[in-house]
Amino acid sequence: MSGKQVALITGGTRGIGLAIAEALAREGLDLALCGVRPAEAVGEVLTQLRTLGSEVAYFQADVAQTADRLRLLEEVRSRFGRLHVLVNNAGIAPPVRADLLEATEESFDRVLAVNLKGPYFLTQQAARWMIQQRQQDPDHQGTIINIGSISATVISTSRGEYCVSKAGLAMATQLWAVRLAEFGIRVYEVRPGIIQTDMTVPVREKYDRLLSEGLCVQARWGMPEEVGRAAAMLVRGELPYSPGLVVLVDGGLTIPRL
């Protein structure tokens, strides 16, 4: 068992989560990755990450499930014995993009369970553990990063449940930043815009057109590694006097323009 800092990244084996895992591995952290896929489906990814010099462990868990969250933290504790960073990255889009007048309660419940309830209560559990570590070692520094979305403030009436979940996560970031400041735990939100991942594949053509028409200040897709670099900056502690900060990685999409 190494003495490196440990980061738990939910949804950490593909897309933005994987880019964050790669960035933190390059920063010298060991990685606890969580996802819903079976371990055999992510073996190649884990092998790739280990070439960066980190100890990497995978834990299958659904953050929307109370029992899975509890088991996840216990398994991380058993494997690593410590935790310094939590990245709440796991998230889903609505199974069907439905107009607000047609959307179902089932879709609303599932999206909010994964995107908001899961990270909210995983943060609660991880923070308790970080506080215990701080009490045992005054030099222990905890960092919690929520991966939000411009959908916290930018409206999409065909996926209202997603927008509501990300708006709630933005408030959760502020709440936890205030509550955990006394324990030296830094809490931030990284808020991506239009990022080229498997989640955006179904709308690739739509956003290609919108980007060409000037949707963003920078007329291109964002890349997962750009979100990874933002997370790494926060984990390094480069913005220690900015609790609750929202780091926008959106190509200028949310700058108001005439």
SS3 221: coil
> What average pLDDT does the segment 36-40 reach?
97
The gap from C-alpha 250 to its chain's centroid, in whole angstroms, comes to 15
Q: Which residues are bridge partners to 86 per DSSP?
A: 8, 144
Given a contact cutoff of 8 angstroms between Cβ atoms, the answer to whether 98 and 157 are in contact is no
Q: Which of 109, 38, 92 is nearest to 202 (CA)?
A: 92
The rounded Cα 87 to chain-centroid distance in angstroms is 5
Considering the segment(s) 6-249 as one domain, its CATH architecture is 3-Layer(aba) Sandwich (3.40)
Q: Annotated active-site positions, please?
A: 162
Residue ranges in the chain assigned as alpha helix (H):
15-26, 43-50, 66-80, 105-112, 118-136, 160-180, 204-212, 224-235
Residue with tokens 């819903």: 36
Task: Give the three-state DSSP class for 76.
Answer: helix
SS3 content of the chain, % helix, strand, coil (to 5): 50, 15, 35
In the chain, the percentage of residues whose pLDDT exceeds 70 is 99
- Tell me: pLDDT of 1 over 60: no
- What's the confidence (pLDDT) of residue 2? 61
Q: CA-CA distances (angstroms) from residue 75 to 20, 121, 145, 146? A: 21, 17, 21, 21
For the cut 60, the answer to whether the pLDDT of residue 44 exceeds it is yes
Instruction: Name residue 215's beta-bridge partners.
Output: none
**Domain map (residue ranges) of the chain:** 6-249
What is the pLDDT at residue 159? 95
**Residue 19 confidence (pLDDT):** 98
Is pLDDT at 58 greater than 80 in this prediction?
yes
User: Quick one: pLDDT at residue 202?
Assistant: 83
127, amino acid identity: A
Tens of pLDDT, residue by residue over 111-168, are 999 999 999 999 999 999 999 999 999 999 999 999 999 999 999 999 999 999 999 9
Please give the share of the chain, as a percent, with pLDDT higher than 90: 96
